[in-house]
């Protein structure tokens, strides 16, 4: 309990990149500290949850194996309504760095397709959703085709970031048309 409270205080104080990096190093590859971080992210008020989400993402990027036991909870958390954009963005971002188990891929893909197709979503959420979908679709032709169609639908109206990421994903997923 004291360790969680200590972590909670550190998260609350982490306001800039160097403080977040310091916190990520503090958590390191420690499953107990990571468990506390996930529980803070999922249970605390949105101000703290949104700060924890940033730390969670950087931890996941450095130590993707730590995330695996929490994927179901993290994906389910995306169904909350409302969910703060920071929590949504950072959850989708961390999904880029992990291998999503087959039993969770359907739900993750459905959520990411919903975000990607919604022009009202922040660009970062849509772009991270693209990458998660590309990772899931890499060996699923039907999903790959659905993703390609959706990207091509939104490409003419996308921001520079959207167009850049979509172009890379289309190039990666589209078979070479050699005639």
Domain residue extents for the chain = 1-99, 101-173
Strands (E), 103-171: none
pTM attached to this predicted model = 0.91
What are 3-60's pLDDT values in tens digits? 878 888 889 888 899 999 999 999 999 999 999 999 999 987 888 899 999 999 999 9
Sign of dihedral through CA atoms 131, 14, 30, 87?
Answer: negative
pLDDT at 136 over 80: yes
What are 114-124's pLDDT values in tens digits? 999 999 999 99
């Amino acid at each position: 309990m004291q360790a969680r409270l200590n972590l909670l205080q550190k998260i609350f104080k982490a306001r800039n990149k160097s403080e977040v990096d310091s916190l990520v190093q503090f958590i390191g590859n420690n499953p107990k500290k990571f468990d506390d971080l996930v529980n803070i992210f999922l249970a605390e008020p949105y101000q703290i949850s949104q700060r924890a989400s940033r730390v969670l993402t950087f931890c996941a990027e450095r130590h993707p194996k730590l995330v695996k036991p929490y994927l179901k909870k993290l994906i389910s958390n995306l169904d909350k309504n409302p969910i703060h954009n920071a929590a949504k963005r950072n959850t989708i971002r961390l999904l880029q760095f992990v291998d999503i188990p087959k039993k969770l891929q359907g739900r993750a893909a459905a959520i990411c397709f919903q975000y990607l197709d919604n022009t009202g979503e922040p660009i970062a959420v849509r772009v991270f959703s693209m990458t998660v979908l590309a990772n899931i679709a890499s060996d699923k032709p039907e999903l790959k085709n659905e993703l390609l169609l959706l990207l091509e639908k939104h490409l003419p109206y996308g921001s520079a970031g959207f167009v850049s990421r979509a172009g890379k994903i289309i190039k990666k997923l589209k078979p070479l048309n050699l005639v």
